[in-house]
A and B are shown apart, each in its own frame.
Chain A
Amino acid sequence: MLVSSLDMAHFVARGFLRLDAVVPEEINQAFLHALNLPETFRPESPTAHFSELLGREVIPEVAPGTRLSQAYASDSAIGNMLKLPEVAGAIESLVGRDPVFDHHFLHLAFPEAAFRKHPERHISQHLHQDSTIDPRQTFDIQVFYFPHAVTAFMGGTRYLPGSHFRIVSEAAISRYQNIIGQEHVVCPAGTILLMHMGIWHGGGVNRSGQLRTMFKIRLCPAVRQQQLWDCTDLAPEHFTQQPTFWTRGGQRDPVQKVLMTQEPWFEADTGRLELMNRIRCWRFLLGDPQFDIDYWLTRVENEIS
């Protein structure tokens, strides 16, 4: 089930796609049960609890470079989650069929009880971009799997929509505590968030009494990311320049509209550069080097010699 052009434009503009409660409870419970047997959960000792989890076979050791189809047993909870048509279709639309596994990790946010001896450590994670400086146009995705419901008190992943084209160096952005428009994941069980590799994010502080669990997989494309989604829904007017600034308010191509909607935190000048970043990315995805919206790129490419 490939995503639509509108969904793809949303990913390009904001840096993520969200599939709420897409994973059935049966798979969520199978995943959680294998991870978190009550008799072994030790909230007072996060390190010991984590060491025990590393020994569980529910999350296998997988070498980077492995094809996703070979990374997980097909009858495992993770294997079943990845086979869901909505999940498999979204992954294929973004990074192609059978992408390359980079790494995975189980993120746990322990409740306050785990920090009785060191309350100063019960804080949110600084804002960061994963990996390191990465100026590629080819992009990886990170699949965030929330196997149980996440409430506002549980400190779900905080992320900044539209930050994914910013070329920064991992934790260099940790000084930014709050930015207008930041979002915190609050979601039903079985929600999947597919993030562009560059999105700024951080774990929240867990103020509930329950352990918060999130499983993340990074995937890299093995093919050129060109028209991998269902782009049969693009209207002819999508590819033509439309009047801009001085218009009579007619209906705008909805995909163009999504791509040209700014985030509330964009600066007055660099917000325009972000629109250009999106158009460049859309050109790359369409395989159409002439594509433009509102003349942003054509204007500065009109070099006559």
Chain B
Amino acid sequence: MRRQKVLVLYLNSSALDASVIGWAQYDGSDQETHMAGDSAEPPYASGLAALKDGWRLIQASPLSSHMPGSEYRTDYLKYEFFFEKLITVKD
């Protein structure tokens, strides 16, 4: 039986080799528990470093046009990348 581990990295720009500014991890294999505020250091220095460690990129934020009147507004973290690893677990 296989389970999904998900790693979410927030990068400094849209380039996958840009540095990590935020992260989250969710482990469907139940090997690890993660929660808000549980670490001060990112698991990888960049998105590319995660790829080199076997994480598969499954989603990246699109680059969106800026809506007239909201060009200077800041809101959510902009460069979000979802990665996965499939882990084999016992039935």
A178 and B38 form a contact (CB under 8 A): yes
Bound-complex Cα distance A297 to B89 (A): 56
B59: chain A residues at CB < 8 Å are none
B24 and A176 form a contact (CB under 8 A): yes
Q: Which of A106-151 contact B (CB under 8 A)?
A: 123-127
Within the complex, the shortest CB–CB distance from A71 to chain B, in Å, comes to 32
| A160 closest partner in B (C-beta) | B22
Within the complex, the shortest CB–CB distance from B16 to chain A, in Å, comes to 14
Q: Is residue A55 within 8 Å, beta carbon to beta carbon, of the partner chain?
A: no
Within the complex, the shortest CB–CB distance from B40 to chain A, in Å, comes to 7
| A277 closest partner in B (C-beta) | B74
| A177 closest partner in B (C-beta) | B24
Known: A178-B38, A202-B37. A167 touches B73 (CB 8 A): yes
B75: chain A residues at CB < 8 Å are 166-168
B77 and A267 form a contact (CB under 8 A): yes
Please tell me which one of the listed residues B11, B35, B76, B79 contacts residue A177 in the complex, with CB atoms under 8 A apart.
Answer: B35
Bound-complex Cα distance A18 to B1 (A): 51
| A269 closest partner in B (C-beta) | B13
Bound-complex Cα distance A123 to B36 (A): 8
B79: chain A residues at CB < 8 Å are 267
| B79 closest partner in A (C-beta) | A267
Query: Total contacts A to B, CB within 8 angstroms?
Result: 90
A179 and B10 form a contact (CB under 8 A): yes
Bound-complex Cα distance A51 to B75 (A): 37
Q: Is residue A274 within 8 Å, beta carbon to beta carbon, of the partner chain?
A: yes
Q: Which of B1-45 contact A (CB under 8 A)?
A: 8, 10-13, 18, 20-25, 34-40, 42
Please tell me which one of the listed residues A158, A165, A264, A265 contacts residue B37 in the complex, with CB atoms under 8 A apart.
Answer: A158
Please tell me which one of the listed residues B18, B36, B77 contacts residue A126 in the complex, with CB atoms under 8 A apart.
Answer: B36
B78 and A178 form a contact (CB under 8 A): no
| B37 closest partner in A (C-beta) | A158
Please tell me which one of the listed residues A173, A177, A267, A276 contacts residue B21 in the complex, with CB atoms under 8 A apart.
Answer: A267
B74: chain A residues at CB < 8 Å are 165-167, 270, 273-274, 277
A178 and B42 form a contact (CB under 8 A): yes
A204: chain B residues at CB < 8 Å are 37
Bound-complex Cα distance A178 to B28 (A): 19
A267 and B12 form a contact (CB under 8 A): yes
Q: Is residue A268 within 8 Å, beta carbon to beta carbon, of the partner chain?
A: yes
B76: chain A residues at CB < 8 Å are 166, 168, 172-173
Known: A264-B21, A276-B72. A178 touches B39 (CB 8 A): yes
Within the complex, the shortest CB–CB distance from A131 to chain B, in Å, comes to 15
* A250-269 Cβ-contact flags toward B at 8 Å (1 or 0): 00000000000000111111
A218: chain B residues at CB < 8 Å are none
| B34 closest partner in A (C-beta) | A177
A175 and B24 form a contact (CB under 8 A): yes
| 7 chain-A/chain-B pairs, Cβ below 8 angstroms | A167-B73, A177-B22, A178-B36, A178-B40, A182-B40, A204-B37, A269-B13
Q: A177-B22, A178-B24 given; name 14 further pairs at CB < 8 Å.
A: A124-B35, A168-B75, A178-B39, A178-B42, A179-B10, A180-B42, A202-B36, A205-B35, A205-B37, A264-B21, A267-B21, A268-B12, A270-B78, A273-B72
Nearest 5 Cβ contacts at the A-B interface: A177-B24, A179-B22, A158-B37, A265-B21, A124-B36
